Structure 1
Amino acid sequence: MHRPPPSSWRAIGVIAALATSYVLAGRLGLSFAAVNPSATPLWPPTGLALAALLLFGDRVWPGILIGALAVNLPINGSFTPALAIAVGNTLEGLVASYLVRRFAHGAAAFERARDIFRFAILAGLVSPMVSATIGTTTLRLAGYAPWADYGSIWLTWWVGDGAGALLFAPALVLWAAPDAFSALRHRWWEAGALLLAVLLVGQLLFANLSPPGYPLTFLPFPVLLWAAFRFSPRESILAVVVLMTMAVWGTTRGLGPFADLGPNEALLLLHVFLATIAVTSLLAAALVAERRRVEARLEAAQEAPVRLAAIVADSDDAIVSKTLDDIITSWNRAAEELYGFTAAEAIGRPITLIIPDDRRPEEDAVLARIRRGEAVQHFETVRVRKDGTRVDVSLTISPIRNQSGVIVGASKIARDISERRQLEEERRAFLAREHAGRAEAEAANRAKDEFLALLGHELRNPLGAIASAVQVLGLVGAQEDRADRARQIITRQVQHLTRLVADLLDVGRVTAGKIVLDRRLLDLADAVKRCLAALTASGKTERHALLVETEPVWVDADEVRLEQIIANLVDNAVKYTPSRGRIRVSVRPVEGHAILRVEDDGIGMSPELLDRVFDLFVQGDRSLERASGGLGIGLMLVRRLVELHGGTVEAASEGPGQGSTFTVRLPSRLAPVTASRHEAAPPESRVRCRLLVVEDDRDVRESLRTMLELTGHEVHAAEDGASGLAAICRLAPDIALVDIGLPGLDGYEVARRVRAERGGAKPVLVALTGYGSAEDRERAHEAGFDLHLVKPITSDQLARILGDAQTRVLERSDGTAARVRSSDERTD
């Protein structure tokens, strides 16, 4: 559902308040009706409606129509006449507001005498004719009044609406100003005396307290002149309203100078009298206010030498001075440029001319400090220009004293700080954009990591199926030479793809700082021998002369990552060394460091390539005929992994065709007490176990099942999470190998539900997945997996995982808890 904006809600609230107030005021006015239930000599809603239209604009007219309809409908008992009268009341208000705005400066009509005179004619005489004519004619046509009473009803209606406009509209408009009570705070005692005088006059005139036979209707005039000369039009009209309240109360009870007439005639004359003194009082107050403004200008001219000590007329800053009554007394050229008002327009008017409504409390606080003789420095606030736009300013405000040292006003120096504020906003916006850009970059980096993890998973699934199928071929004994050669080719390519996937995933982890080393004391020479033996067995170095020279030297390193460093350096030498070329690998201790050096007599490197050789995606010869392959990430990983171990790596070459040398320096450690390492052989299957393979990829599932069956185990299979969970509950397997990325229930949920089951033997759960990061292993552990196996799976890995799982089965039968670890040879 569409909701109105806040400004619309405010307008709706004003309309509702206007309608409610109109109904209450209308019922009060109709209580004085005599010639007809719909015609009264005093109609306060007219003044209420006109004030609302002047203050809030013509958009609030529905409030007048609704209120007038609600007032008149119960009187006439018929909708059509009530609606016609309500339309007349609404048109009366709209006509009056248009005429007053057009010819008497709208809500500012009570600041000048000529505008008050125009207001009295337009709002008190002309516009009430609209409502009186429409209303009286409606009553006649609807049969609620005879033609004989038409004139008296029309006159009553017209006088009542005119009196309501002249008595209530000025009071509501003037007292609706934000600073309406500020002038009374410093003159409350005189205001109180004036109120007592008005009450006394009202008692004398309209409570029969005066001596009989003495016409005292002139008594209100001295009191109202007091209000006009000592205060302002606001206090003058308030005095008239107070007097009117007492006059109506007394006249309706047969008291006062007008009580001898009939009820309707008495009230008509009373309200004509009150309207007359209201207009007279307003005119007098406006003339006095104008005289004060003239006097302020004259006083400003006479005190120019005093003010020149505080202001500089030609300053680039806006300089304004004012009296303690907030009347502007000077306005320099810069103020004209800043605020848009000329000096002639501003001088003599209140300082609130340029102060927004929401900043009025600030001005009161500043004026209080000025009265105490304090200065205000660099006060940042907002002012409003002539065109209604706002401007940010920094104010310095100082008290102005006369020749006697008495504070008579204040001087304000304003500097436009809009440009500075704009720069600050632009800076904040720039920082916000920079923050958003950083967040976007981080999101992109996370998306990259997730993509790489997904890529590794998707690549490892087919690699797993291929590797398992090759192992099956080996187990069934396919001895034909061609079949054996094909199996060896597949095996080598699977190993190559596996290493590419691992390196690709390591790039994201290294750059994100997510590699965690599992360090222990290792003999670097032994690590080199094991790695070279694996490379030789895979056929990587069969077309090169490989020379190995090692001396025992111990380092504190992660075994898997250390072998990755060695393998990548040797693999790089093989790629860029032609067939029958020489590759020399050496290990030796030098001055507290373990030095690993890989030298070749291959194609070498140019100086330009040498500077970038450890950067990401940098490769040597990119010609189409080269057969080296690779992604250009191996040497970057070497550098990052070496640095994680606290070492350094360097590359050297005499130039193209001169071979290359890579040197790794790692901090060496003292050899442990037991220098020999016991390399435990992969455990053999000690018992025949019941196994369950839960894998959605058919090729992986079938090849893994065949491999396990050929090792002598009872093997069952399931193709999704739900059937896998059911098979675990039904078969109670000793070991369950569960893929993580299953449809329906994923592997994590299967593990959680298995561990949540009460009673019965719990199988050893092995996570089978293409995701191999430390976070993935931790998540598997939290879900309830005992072991973690990363695809593709070799026969050695499978034998080792089965050995570990069988050990856990035996330990659980003895009540011993086992700790989860990854069985993958790489920690990725």
Structure 2
Amino acid sequence: MAAVLVTRPVRLPLEPVLKALAVAACYYVAGRLGLLGRVVVEGVVVTPIWPPTGVAVAALLVYGVRVWPGIALGSFLVIASLTTPQVGTLVTVAGNTAGPLCAMWFLRRVGFRLDISRLRDGLALVLGGLGAMLVSSTAGVGLQVLGGGLESGEFWSVWLAWWVGDAMGVLLVTPLLLVVVGAAGRLRRAGWTEMACLGLTAVILLPVAALSRMSLLFLVFPLLIWAALRFQLAGSMACALFASVLTTFEANAQRGAFQNLSAVEVMVKLQAFNGATALTALLLSAMVAEQRATRRSVQNACNELGEVLEHLAAGETPPGSAASHAADTHADDRTAPPSGPHPDR
């Protein structure tokens, strides 16, 4: 008897290392881009939107836990680009790594789908982003207080800015990255004309809303609704991220709707706008995707029922039904040769 040789695909040991290095590079680039809109709160550098947290959560969801060293390395490189690394830097790096890991653990426990095709997936990402980023913000700001670089009375203002910035990175960047890697819904190939109209409207309307002194930021939300209804996650999150980034730069320059406001008022107004924008785009697009999936399921069930009724009206047994299966089994029994030895004559 010949031996059966079972072959299995051999994975190169360098694959996890290359993925981790790629994640570190993406984390660093996202961090440098995020620092372009940085603000200083009580002497601590924070960003209203911190894209690396979105990169980290998306990488963990797509590639798994094995890429966490890339997150830690990317976080260390970003900090090293700002200041000389010290012993306390390791605490900040640990917090920046633990936050996305907690978000991934929570999302997997609640059955999160990468395509974000259900409302519960959108809600899970919101809860995971808001909850898990408590770890990174508490570790980073707590280190500043313990190290003497920040007074205890200044803890909450810096902590709130840090936490909201990390959470906005998850809510705005993670869904868009899941679309880019193909894990979430894609843009429809049909409707390029409408897509071009949406993009042109966004390019014209969003700067007007952000630059106007009359505080016209509410004009962004009809655009988000249009994008979510017609292009779901890809369109709505792209518009939301563009609006949030543009508004963040205007807030840092204290122009338009943020003119003549104190630093605290600017931060509160900006974070409220970014949060409302992210929640509207994410939850509405998830709701639309869920309703479309339900409609497709109902349509498929109606089509199958119509085929069954057509066969019954023609006096035929519907294919795939229990009666058809029983008839096929009975016919096979009649045509099968008898088992057992034949008696000799």
User: What are the equivalent positions in structure 2 for 1:735-814 lying under 5 Å apart?
Assistant: none
- How far did residue 61 of structure 1 move? 0.3
Match of 2:133 in 1: 128
One-letter amino acid of the structure 2 residue matched with residue 185 of structure 1: R
One-letter amino acid of the structure 1 residue matched with residue 232 of structure 2: S
Match of 1:242 in 2: 242
TM-score of the superposed pair, with normalisation by structure 2: 0.80
Give the conservation status (yes or no) of the 8 Å contact 1:29–1:44: yes
Give the Cα–Cα distance (whole angstroms) in 2 for the partners of residues 148 and 77 of structure 1.
Answer: 26
Give the Cα–Cα distance (whole angstroms) in 2 for the partners of residues 313 and 229 of structure 1.
Answer: 38
Give the Cα–Cα distance (whole angstroms) in 2 for the partners of residues 291 and 303 of structure 1.
Answer: 18
- How far did residue 134 of structure 1 move? 0.8
Match of 1:46 in 2: 53
Q: Please identify, of 113-122 and 250-259, the stretch whose mean Cα deviation from structure 2 is larger.
A: 250-259
Give the Cα–Cα distance (whole angstroms) in 1 for the partners of residues 299 and 127 of structure 2.
Answer: 35
User: What are the equivalent positions in structure 2 for 1:557-568 lying under 5 Å apart?
Assistant: none
Match of 2:119 in 1: 113
**Secondary structure at the residue paired with 1:284?**
helix
Give the Cα–Cα distance (whole angstroms) in 1 for the partners of residues 25 and 148 of structure 2.
Answer: 29
Give the Cα–Cα distance (whole angstroms) in 2 for the partners of residues 27 and 116 of structure 1.
Answer: 28
RMSD: 2.7
Match of 1:296 in 2: 296
Is residue 2:26 matched to residue 1:21? yes
Give the conservation status (yes or no) of the 8 Å contact 2:254–2:261: no
One-letter amino acid of the structure 1 residue matched with residue 192 of structure 2: W
Give the Cα–Cα distance (whole angstroms) in 1 for the partners of residues 258 and 134 of structure 2.
Answer: 25
One-letter amino acid of the structure 2 residue matched with residue 283 of structure 1: L
1:193 corresponds to which of 194, 197, 203 = 197
One-letter amino acid of the structure 1 residue matched with residue 96 of structure 2: N
Match of 1:177 in 2: 182
Larger Rg belongs to = 1
Give the Cα–Cα distance (whole angstroms) in 2 for the partners of residues 15 and 204 of structure 1.
Answer: 41
Match of 1:145 in 2: 150
**Secondary structure at the residue paired with 1:185?**
coil
Give the Cα–Cα distance (whole angstroms) in 1 for the partners of residues 265 and 88 of structure 2.
Answer: 26
- How far did residue 9 of structure 1 move? 2.2
Change (3 A) 1:268 1:8: farther
**Secondary structure at the residue paired with 2:218?**
coil
Give the Cα–Cα distance (whole angstroms) in 2 for the partners of residues 156 and 292 of structure 1.
Answer: 37
Is residue 2:98 matched to residue 1:94? no
**Secondary structure at the residue paired with 1:251?**
helix
- How far did residue 188 of structure 1 move? 1.3
Change (3 A) 1:263 1:44: farther
Give the Cα–Cα distance (whole angstroms) in 1 for the partners of residues 319 and 68 of structure 2.
Answer: 48
**Secondary structure at the residue paired with 1:219?**
helix
Give the Cα–Cα distance (whole angstroms) in 2 for the partners of residues 89 and 224 of structure 1.
Answer: 30
1:765-818, Cα deviation, whole Å (9 max, x unpaired): xxxxxxxxxxxxxxxxxxxxxxxxxxxxxxxxxxxxxxxxxxxxxxxxxxxxxx
Give the Cα–Cα distance (whole angstroms) in 2 for the partners of residues 111 and 179 of structure 1.
Answer: 8
- How far did residue 113 of structure 1 move? 0.8
More helix by share: 2
TM-score of the superposed pair, with normalisation by structure 1: 0.35
2:168 corresponds to which of 163, 180, 188 = 163
**Secondary structure at the residue paired with 1:34?**
strand
Give the number of aligned pairs. Answer: 306
Change (3 A) 1:115 1:177: same
Match of 1:314 in 2: 320
Change (3 A) 1:178 1:130: closer
- How far did residue 65 of structure 1 move? 0.6
Give the Cα–Cα distance (whole angstroms) in 2 for the partners of residues 268 and 104 of structure 1.
Answer: 33
Give the Cα–Cα distance (whole angstroms) in 2 for the partners of residues 106 and 97 of structure 1.
Answer: 12
Change (3 A) 1:177 1:315: farther
One-letter amino acid of the structure 2 residue matched with residue 277 of structure 1: T
- How far did residue 203 of structure 1 move? 1.7
- How far did residue 116 of structure 1 move? 1.0
Give the Cα–Cα distance (whole angstroms) in 2 for the partners of residues 307 and 170 of structure 1.
Answer: 39
- How far did residue 268 of structure 1 move? 4.8
Change (3 A) 1:295 1:239: same
Give the Cα–Cα distance (whole angstroms) in 2 for the partners of residues 138 and 299 of structure 1.
Answer: 56
Match of 1:205 in 2: 209
Change (3 A) 1:165 1:148: same
- How far did residue 288 of structure 1 move? 1.8
Change (3 A) 1:78 1:178: closer
**Secondary structure at the residue paired with 2:190?**
coil
Match of 1:280 in 2: 280
Is residue 2:91 matched to residue 1:84? yes
- How far did residue 46 of structure 1 move? 0.8
Match of 1:57 in 2: 64
5+ residue gaps in structure 2? 1-9, 312-317, 326-345
Give the Cα–Cα distance (whole angstroms) in 2 for the partners of residues 49 and 136 of structure 1.
Answer: 20
Match of 1:732 in 2: none
- How far did residue 178 of structure 1 move? 6.4
1:379-438, Cα deviation, whole Å (9 max, x unpaired): xxxxxxxxxxxxxxxxxxxxxxxxxxxxxxxxxxxxxxxxxxxxxxxxxxxxxxxxxxxx
Change (3 A) 1:219 1:297: same
More strand by share: 1
Give the Cα–Cα distance (whole angstroms) in 1 for the partners of residues 81 and 289 of structure 2.
Answer: 46
Give the conservation status (yes or no) of the 8 Å contact 2:244–2:277: no
Change (3 A) 1:143 1:216: same
Give the Cα–Cα distance (whole angstroms) in 1 for the partners of residues 185 and 120 of structure 2.
Answer: 22
Give the Cα–Cα distance (whole angstroms) in 2 for the partners of residues 174 and 290 of structure 1.
Answer: 16
Give the conservation status (yes or no) of the 8 Å contact 1:174–1:234: yes
**Secondary structure at the residue paired with 2:150?**
coil
- How far did residue 96 of structure 1 move? 0.8
Give the conservation status (yes or no) of the 8 Å contact 1:33–1:264: no
Give the conservation status (yes or no) of the 8 Å contact 2:209–2:218: no
Give the Cα–Cα distance (whole angstroms) in 2 for the partners of residues 277 and 226 of structure 1.
Answer: 13
User: What are the equivalent positions in structure 2 for 1:336-735 lying under 5 Å apart?
Assistant: none
Change (3 A) 1:143 1:74: farther
Match of 1:485 in 2: none
Give the Cα–Cα distance (whole angstroms) in 2 for the partners of residues 222 and 17 of structure 1.
Answer: 37
Change (3 A) 1:8 1:232: farther
Match of 1:154 in 2: 159
Give the Cα–Cα distance (whole angstroms) in 1 for the partners of residues 183 and 94 of structure 2.
Answer: 32
Task: Kindly indicate whether structure 1 or structure 2 has the higher relative contact order, using CA contacts under 8 Å at least 6 residues apart.
Answer: 2
**Secondary structure at the residue paired with 1:281?**
helix
One-letter amino acid of the structure 1 residue matched with residue 40 of structure 2: A
- How far did residue 127 of structure 1 move? 0.9
Percent identical: 31
Give the Cα–Cα distance (whole angstroms) in 2 for the partners of residues 178 and 50 of structure 1.
Answer: 13
Match of 1:68 in 2: 75
Match of 1:580 in 2: none
One-letter amino acid of the structure 2 residue matched with residue 111 of structure 1: S
Give the Cα–Cα distance (whole angstroms) in 1 for the partners of residues 283 and 204 of structure 2.
Answer: 23
Match of 2:226 in 1: 226
